[in-house]
Chains A and B, each alone.
Chain A
């Protein structure tokens, strides 16, 4: 049972990754290309000593990371003048590379989604397969993409100082783990309270708990602002919107596709049971 769900989730995740690739090609790649064009025009004013016009409060304690040759393997085709040549062409990065990344990510998220679904089924009230999968996909998108993204949003090439990649990566994953834990806690709380308070009030309480934890985290964790002052605001906005759009497409395809497959399987099982056959596997 669990193995079937896992396989189903990863399969749908792969398809969701392919779908997200289509969306990314349409709405994401133009912004990436424009950001790289900006980087090639301005890339060489990243001085080793950091950019004074930007504020990274948490980073004052880290000048030791800013050694002369740390992290400045800036690598886009743009910086052809640098000592390192590009490993992959832009066409490869935006084609097979993007597809591979999205498909592997989709398969992984699909698998984790399926394991979560396996635990949640029968424990989330009256929801059928489609309702449960859609609900989990919405909660997953909120907890993994949207809400942490308000604090640490996606950044296009040319945004972000390579010297702070360690801090930024650590902060990103700390917030991500906290967000997933807060969502898990909120759902468990809502389930516990549902018997006494009713579904609506329990759901609101769970939502309030998640929101409170994330707002507190937003205030406690340091702000990262490494957008070059001359970076076009419109381009940054378009890139971040595209990033959310791609993730939304992936999660929507995952939730609806997985729910659809589970619903179909359940109906086949019910029919087989009525006929007295063994339940079908897939």
Chain B
């Protein structure tokens, strides 16, 4: 793959971002983003952070159609 890196026409090689630079973004951003997936996919199903059924019922169709176990 790396061998053919020279003939890509106008495109400049993409800059490498070091793991250390990425780590804080991956940890904090990743956590928040996974929490968003959790609220759409699983909250008030098998586990509940918030009392009630409102979240589950509101995103009900999205949860089914995205393939998450709903109820």
Asked whether A and B interact, the reply is yes
Chain A residues packing against B (C-beta within 8 Å): 1-3, 6, 24, 28-29, 32, 71, 73-75, 86-88, 92-94, 96-98, 100-102, 104-105, 107-109, 111-112, 115, 118-119, 121-129, 132, 145, 149, 152-157, 160, 162, 165-166, 168-170, 172-173, 191, 194-195, 198-199, 202, 239, 242-243, 246-247, 263, 266-267, 270
Could you tell me the distance between the alpha carbons of A71 and B53 in the complex, rounded to whole angstroms?
12
Is the pair A121, B65 in contact by a Cβ cutoff of 8 Å?
A: no
Q: Which residues of B lie under 8 Å from residue A126 when comparing CB positions?
A: 1-2, 4-6, 8
Chain B at the A interface: mostly helix, strand, loop or mixed?
A: helix
A-B pairs, top 8 by smallest CB distance, nearest first, are A101-B62, A125-B1, A101-B59, A169-B46, A122-B16, A154-B67, A108-B36, A121-B14
Output the nearest chain B residue to A120 by Cβ-Cβ distance: B14
Residues of A within 8 A of B41 (CB): 105
Q: Within the complex, what minimum Cβ distance (angstroms) separates A224 from chain B?
A: 9
- Closest B residue, CB atoms, query A224: B69
- Contacts A115-B29, A121-B16 given; indicate if A105 touches B69 (C-beta within 8 A): no
Contact of B58 among A97, A123, A168 (CB under 8 A): A97
A198 → B minimal CB distance (Å)? 8
B51 within 8 A of A: no
Q: Evaluate contact between B66 and A156: CB separation under 8 angstroms.
A: no
Given A112-B30, A115-B22, A122-B14, A104 contacting B2 (CB threshold 8 A): no
With A109-B37, A165-B45 in contact, do A160 and B69 touch (Cβ < 8 Å)? Answer: yes
Residues in B lying within 8 Å of A, measured CB to CB = 1-6, 8, 10-17, 19, 21-22, 25-26, 29-30, 32-34, 36-37, 39-42, 45-47, 53-54, 57-71
Tell me whether B62 and A75 are in contact (CB under 8 A).
no
**Which of B22, B62, B70 contacts A97 (CB under 8 A)?**
B62
A143 to chain B minimum Cβ distance, whole angstroms, is 13
Please tell me which one of the listed residues A2, A71, A104 contacts residue B40 in the complex, with CB atoms under 8 A apart. A104
Assembly CA distance A29 to B61 (angstroms): 8
Interfacial chain A residues near B4, Cβ < 8 Å: 125-126, 199
Q: Is the CB of A98 within 8 A of B65?
A: yes
Once the chains bind, are B22 and A119 in contact (CB under 8 Å)? Answer: yes
A162 and B46 CA atoms in complex are apart in Å by 9
How distant is the Cα of A28 from the Cα of B69 in the complex, in angstroms? 16
B41 CB → nearest A CB, Å: 7
- The 8 Å CB contact of A165, one of B22, B33, B46, is B46
How many Å lie between the Cα of A202 and that of B14 in the bound state?
A: 22
27 residue pairs of the A-B complex, CB under 8 angstroms, read A6-B29, A24-B62, A32-B61, A98-B61, A101-B40, A101-B66, A105-B36, A108-B34, A108-B40, A109-B33, A111-B32, A115-B29, A121-B14, A122-B14, A125-B1, A125-B5, A126-B6, A126-B8, A155-B64, A160-B69, A165-B71, A168-B69, A169-B69, A172-B69, A199-B3, A202-B1, A243-B67
